[in-house]
């Protein structure tokens, strides 16, 4: 019902099908879904928009790093959210192996250690990482002994935080979660009791509308930090820096996408999300409790001008 309304809406805008391009294949376009909310909702947004244009789509869950090999080999066709802070290395390799850069979103992104604002009083000198390190004892748990606990991301997000802790000789231990929901449950539990916590977070996300807090400032990122041990304050280690504070968000597609589905490919090259649009996509599920599919329908209804601009 709602889906038909979406089609009707796009139809009314004169945006349903019919164009000068060659026809798209009737095979499904395989859109990759990952394990964080905005990516799943916005993949559904893209899928529903392509369906409104007559394309078939299939959603394929994939590991955040392995998806790049799948796209380079043509097993999957499109990924909507390539985050610089966690995927740049795998993305670059996939381009060298034949995947296609579908361009950047308007959004500017950051992924790193994050803490609630009430900790500024508990750990004077924050957000500087050295002040956090000096405060490690306040973040110690049964699991981490005398070390501070950093609640880290699921393994497939491609971060190197245990290496960073070692490279910067921090008195911390990473305790990774299995899924994003655990990050938010840990944050909520600490926040309710005003207990110290430092965890992995990113922006844009629904978190910034619900919790007050900020990123820890680590030594400023430069690409050499990841490849040249001599760079940075530890001359014998890579990863002695933070993640990019103004990272890109890109899209990637298979070689086949352009060839088999030229109309869809032209739309996907134009797809661009802003920071508030991404945060809102996450919020529709993580705060309002919608399914990703319904969240995508709602998102399309409230962002008609944006969708229209992709179809012109
Ligand atoms: C890739 N992520 C947005 C979860 O940091």
Q: Say if ligand 1 is within 6 A of residue 202 CB.
A: yes
Return the pLDDT at 41.
98
Q: 48-103 pLDDT, tens per residue?
A: 999 999 999 999 999 999 999 999 999 999 999 999 999 999 999 999 999 999 99
Confidence of residue 10 (pLDDT cuts 50, 70, 90): low
Return the pLDDT at 22.
77
Average pLDDT of span 227-240: 96
Q: What is the DSSP letter of 288?
A: T
Q: Say if ligand 1 is within 6 A of residue 90 CB.
A: no
Confidence of residue 156 (pLDDT cuts 50, 70, 90): confident
pTM of the predicted model as reported, rounded to 2 decimal places: 0.91
Give, using CA atoms, the residue closest to atom 3 of ligand 1: 202
Return the pLDDT at 220.
97
Q: Say if ligand 1 is within 6 A of residue 112 CB.
A: no
Residue 35 Cα: closest atom of ligand 1 = 4
Q: Say if ligand 1 is within 6 A of residue 83 CB.
A: yes
User: What whole-number percentage of the chain has pLDDT above 70?
Assistant: 93
Nearest to 202 by CA among 148, 164, 246, 160: 246
Residue 14 has pLDDT above 50, yes or no: no
How far apart, in whole angstroms, are the C-alpha atoms of residue 180 and residue 176? 10
- Residue 8's SS3 state is helix
Return the pLDDT at 15.
53
Average pLDDT of span 111-125: 98
Terminal alpha carbon distance of the chain: 25
How far apart, in whole angstroms, are the C-alpha atoms of residue 301 and residue 297? 6
Q: Say if ligand 1 is within 6 A of residue 91 CB.
A: no
> Residue 213: beta bridge partners?
116
Return the pLDDT at 57.
98
DSSP string computed for 161-212 = HHHHHHHTT-SEEEEE-SSHHHHHHHHHHHHHTT---EEEEEESSTHHHH--
Backbone angles phi, psi at 102, to 5 degrees: -95, 15
Residue 38 Cα: closest atom of ligand 1 = 3
Q: Name the least confident of 15-19, 41-45, 277-281.
A: 15-19
Residue 83 Cα: closest atom of ligand 1 = 1
Return the pLDDT at 97.
97
Domain covering 110-226 in this structure, CATH number: 3.40.190.100
Spacing, Cα 81 to ligand 1 middle (Å): 9
CATH class of the domain at 4-108+247-311: alpha beta
Return the pLDDT at 1.
43
On whether the CB atoms of residues 157 and 85 are closer than 8 A, the answer is: no
Q: 261-298 pLDDT, tens per residue?
A: 999 999 999 999 999 999 999 999 999 999 999 999 99
Q: Say if ligand 1 is within 6 A of residue 86 CB.
A: yes
**Region class of 194: left (phi > 0), else alpha (psi between -120 and 50), else beta:** left
Domains 4-108+247-311 and 110-226 share a fold: yes
pLDDT greater at residue 105 or residue 159:
105
Contacts 24+ apart (CB under 8 A), 120-124: 122/196, 123/196
Average pLDDT of span 173-201: 97
Residue 124 has pLDDT above 80, yes or no: yes
* Domain spans in the chain, listed from the N-terminal domain onward: 4-108+247-311, 110-226
């Amino acid at each position: 019902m709602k889906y038909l309304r979406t089609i009707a809406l796009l139809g009314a805008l004169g945006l349903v099908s019919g164009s000068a391009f060659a026809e798209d294949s009737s095979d499904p376009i395989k859109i990759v879904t990952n394990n964080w909310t905005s990516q799943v909702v916005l993949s559904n947004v893209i899928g529903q928009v392509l369906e409104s244009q007559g394309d078939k789509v299939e959603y394929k869950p994939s590991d955040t790093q392995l998806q790049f090999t799948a796209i380079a080999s043509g097993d999957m066709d499109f990924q909507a959210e390539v985050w610089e802070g966690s995927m740049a290395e795998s993305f670059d390799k996939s381009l060298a192996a034949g995947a296609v850069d579908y361009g950047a979103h308007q959004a500017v992104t950051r992924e790193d250690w994050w803490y609630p604002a009430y900790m500024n009083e508990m750990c004077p000198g924050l957000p500087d990482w050295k002040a956090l390190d000096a405060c490690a004892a306040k973040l110690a748990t049964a699991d981490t002994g005398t070390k501070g606990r950093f609640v880290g991301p699921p393994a497939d997000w491609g971060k190197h935080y245990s290496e960073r802790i070692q490279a910067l000789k921090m008195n911390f231990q990473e305790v990774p979660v299995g899924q994003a929901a655990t990050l938010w449950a840990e944050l909520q539990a600490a926040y309710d009791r005003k207990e110290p916590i430092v965890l992995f977070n990113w922006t844009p996300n629904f978190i910034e509308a619900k919790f007050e807090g900020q990123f820890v400032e680590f030594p400023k990122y430069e690409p050499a930090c990841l490849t040249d041990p001599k760079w940075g304050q530890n001359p014998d280690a890579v990863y002695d820096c933070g993640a990019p504070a103004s990272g890109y968000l890109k899209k990637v597609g298979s070689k086949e996408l352009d060839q088999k589905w030229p109309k869809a490919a032209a739309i996907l090259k134009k797809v661009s999300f802003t920071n508030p649009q991404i945060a809102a996509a996450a919020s529709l599920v993580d705060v309002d409790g919608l399914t990703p599919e319904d969240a995508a329908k709602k998102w399309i209804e409230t962002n008609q001008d944006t969708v229209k601009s992709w179809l012109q």
